[in-house]
Amino acid sequence: MTSPLIRGYEVVIGFETHAQLSTASKIFSRASTAFGAEPNTQACAVDLALPGTLPVMNKGAVERAIRLGLALGSHIAPRSVFARKNYFYPDLPKGYQISQYEIPVVQGGSVSFFVGEEQRTVRLVRAHLEEDAGKSLHEDFVGQSGIDLNRAGTPLLEIVTEPDMRSTAEAVAYARELHKIVTWIGICDGNMQEGSFRCDANVSVRRPGQPLGTRREIKNLNSFKFMQQAIDYEIRWQIEEIEEGRAIQQATVLFDPDTGETRAMRTKEDAADYRYFPDPDLPPLAIAAEWIERVRADMPELPRAMAERYVREHGLSDYDASQLTQSVALAHYFQSAVAAGANAKLASNWITGEIARRLNQQDIGIADAPVTAVQLATLIGRISDGTISNNAARQVFDALWTGEGREVDAVIEAKGLKQMSDTGALEKIIDQVLAANQKNIDEYRAGKDKAFNALVGQVMKASQGKANPAQVNALLKARLD
């Protein structure tokens, strides 16, 4: 793909994503990581940095890092090193954050995804383990700040890309794909509102062929919508600055959803010297090959592999297969329907069509869909075996979705939607229709195909929609040809 240019500028975007790992306890202590508890009730002596406390690595966090590395084809370092990032802030209890600096646990790898029809690949630089800080609460405290250390010590995986993205659409597609992968492999709950998946976008622009421009980093993008708006705004702002002869200053910026603008928090001049050095409280993190193999054996089928399998096994289109593998839950729903006997293509059409539309409308996930995969399979079965027409199926589906009915067959029965399978009755209707529409018969015989369709329509209407259209077609043809 050639890079799309905006006013003659090429856009360059790199991402740093903080994925909160789904461990029950913190990365270096045994306190709970559950969200939403009363302030400071989930901070133990280690999280409070009480004198004499020491960090002990949570193996679950390491295992999740290994899972990501395996999912993205990265090198998993047999030996990685925790370092201290030193700075003072009230919600940083130790006065340093334990992170990984020179030798991260996950190195390299890539994320592939579609932007429209085009496949793109973004290379990863690294993913490293680190602890989160607490929260400073500036509201509700007149002239003071409150500190909540519940989040302090929550395990994070910081996932850093190369500056490989060339448009907002590509950046958002990358973030969506990464979000899908971390939730798919179960290392992160993906809840962006609660801050479980936070993205920082490094954005710069340049004339094609020129060296990289100065970047500005948009911090803490916690929804895909804001991500799109923020990057779009930032690109426009940077181009305008350059066009007006002003140089871009390296800076960290925040996006304000209310104004739709980004504004600088700090510039490079205020950049702190973090005095990184290896944490003497933690020996280097050793990951033996056997550990990696144990994790590998426990890995689920990844979405891309699953989508390829759907294309191969069920003859689905690439697009439909990728739609069905947007989440584990959705893929599971599809597979359950197929396992319950549904035709895969029809199931795919229903899920990516009617069901997706309704989920969207109600803003709920597939797990909350009122129609189960087994019900869907039964419904599709009734279409396939000719019991009901497609139109009737939609009515049945609606009844199931709204809770009006629970059993597919009972709904068909109650609504009288069964197609007419009795040939004698249908012949009778056809006789009446033919007798009343000699003009259409003549036109058809004169070569007008349209006239045949009109006859089919009449028969369907006379049957109150219960006739099987294929059967009507066949019988009419037999009578007229």
Partner 1 sequence: MSAELHEMGVTALAAALRERKVSAAEAAEHHLARIRQHQDLGAFLAVDEDLTLGQARAADARIAAGTAGPLTGVPIAHKDIFVTADLPTTAGSRMLAGYRSPFDATVVHRLGDAGAVTLGKLSCDEFAMGSANENVAVPAVGAAAPIPVRNPWDRSRIPGGSSGGSAAAVAARLTPAATGTDTGGSIRQPASFCGVTGIKPTYGRASRYGMVAFASSLDQAGPMARSAEDCALLLSTMCAPDPDRDSTSLDTPAEDFSRSLGNSLDGLRIGVPREFLGDGVAPGVRAVVEAALAEYEKLGARRVEITLPRTELSIPVYYVLAAAEASSNLSRFDGVKFGHRASNYRDLADMYAKTREEGFGDEVKRRIMIGTYVLSHGYYDAYYLQAQKVRRMIADDFQRAFGECDLIAGPVAPSVAWKIGEHGGDPVADYLADIFTLPASLAGLPGMSVPAGFDGGMPVGLQLIGNYFGEAKLLNAAHRFQQATDFHLRQPEGI
The contact set with partner 1 (CB under 8 A) reads 45, 48-57, 84, 86, 88, 90, 93-96, 147, 273, 275-277, 280-283
Closest to partner 1 by CB, 36 or 51? 51
Closest to partner 1 by CB, 92 or 467? 92
Closest to partner 1 by CB, 133 or 383? 133
Tell me the one-letter amino acid at 16: E
Backbone phi, psi, residue 263, to 5°: -140, 150
Q: How far is the CB of 64 from partner 1 (least distance, A)?
A: 19
Closest to partner 1 by CB, 134 or 213? 134
Closest to partner 1 by CB, 6 or 282? 282
Closest to partner 1 by CB, 273 or 481? 273
Q: How far is the CB of 286 from partner 1 (least distance, A)?
A: 12
Residue closest to 287 by CA, chosen among 104, 22, 155? 104
Dihedral over alpha carbons 296, 298, 304, 306 (to 10 degrees): 140
Residue closest to 93 by CA, chosen among 126, 31, 137, 44? 44
Closest to partner 1 by CB, 83 or 171? 83
Closest to partner 1 by CB, 147 or 203? 147
Q: How far is the CB of 219 from partner 1 (least distance, A)?
A: 20
Q: How far is the CB of 65 from partner 1 (least distance, A)?
A: 17
Closest to partner 1 by CB, 275 or 479? 275
Q: How far is the CB of 148 from partner 1 (least distance, A)?
A: 12
Q: How far is the CB of 393 from partner 1 (least distance, A)?
A: 60
Produce one character per residue of 85-113: b if its CB has 16 or more CB atoms within 10 Å, e if not.
bbeeeebbbbebbbbbbebbbbbbbebeb
Closest to partner 1 by CB, 27 or 175? 27
Q: How far is the CB of 91 from partner 1 (least distance, A)?
A: 9
Closest to partner 1 by CB, 147 or 324? 147
Measured CA to CA in angstroms, residue 467 lies from 214, 297, 452, 454 at distances of 69, 53, 16, 15
Q: How far is the CB of 90 from partner 1 (least distance, A)?
A: 5
Q: How far is the CB of 24 from partner 1 (least distance, A)?
A: 16
- For helices 390-402 and 408-415, give the axis angle rounded to 10 degrees: 110
Q: How far is the CB of 45 from partner 1 (least distance, A)?
A: 6
Q: How far is the CB of 142 from partner 1 (least distance, A)?
A: 15
